[in-house]
Amino acid sequence: MASLLDKVGTLIKANLHYLVDQALKQNSMAVIDQYIREVEDNLDKLEDAAATVGGQVKTLNRKYVEFEAKATELDRNIDVMLQQGRDDLAVAAQSKLNSTQRLVDNYREQYERQKSEYEKLLDAKLKLEAKLTTIKQEREELQALLDLAKAKEITTKTISSLDDLVGTGDDDIGRIAESIRTRLDTASARGEMVAARLDAQMDEVLERSTLDAQLAERKKRLGLE
């Protein structure tokens, strides 16, 4: 039992901040998970031990109460026997009372010792459960931090890979860009040519219209219409 309480005491005294720091340094939950497994395993053992010792405490208390009642009855009977002049019976009863009283004292000592042990087990169980609750909460926060760190690492690697890709593909990208610019220039030139033709056609149309108007005016003056 002492060995179990020593192990539990070590787990209770464990520095959770140190465990979290180690997990962060190793970028792994292994340290935390191992601690949780040990705590849960020892909690099971504590529960079994507490149930066993708790049962013994109840048994010892029952025996203590039972023999104390017998001792009280014997003590009362001895007084009655002496009052009746039955010293022979009183002697036998006194001897039995002495034996019974030794049993009472023995059961009381065992009861108090086991009760103290039982209370230690219950106290250790409560403290270890509280420690387990705390480290599980820490684990959730730590997992979130590690997930975030891993996501950042992936992002950094991705950006680095893209930078490397751009670096190794500058010539190709430059040729593609130049090709696109050439096509744009060609399209622009063609647009300008089309616009020029339209302008020329418009000019021709306007010029012909002007000429026709001048001729019509002249015919009208000459009375040729």
Q: In terms of residue numbers, what domain contains 39?
A: 2-168
pLDDT exceeds cutoff 50 at 166: no
Question: Are 121 and 196 within one domain?
Answer: no
User: What total of structural domains would you count in the chain?
Assistant: 2
Give the pLDDT of residue 177. 46
Considering the domain architecture, whether residues 68 and 118 belong to the same structural domain is answered as yes
Q: In this structure, are 213 and 121 located in the same domain?
A: no
Q: How does DSSP classify residue 223?
A: T
pLDDT digit string, tens, across residues 102-147 = 999 999 999 999 999 999 999 999 999 988 888 888 788 777 777 7
pLDDT score for 159: 47
Long-range contacts of 74-77 (CB under 8 A, 24+ apart): 74/100
- Last residue within a domain, chosen from 121, 137, 168: 168
Mean pLDDT, range 145-156, rounded to an integer: 65
| CB hemisphere CA count around 204 (13 angstroms) | 6
Clarify whether residues 182 and 109 are in a common domain.
Answer: no
The four Cα atoms 151, 156, 162, 163 give a dihedral, to 10 degrees, of 170
Q: What is the CATH number for 110?
A: 1.10.287
Structure confidence by residue, pLDDT tens digits, 169-198: 555 544 544 554 565 566 556 656 655 665
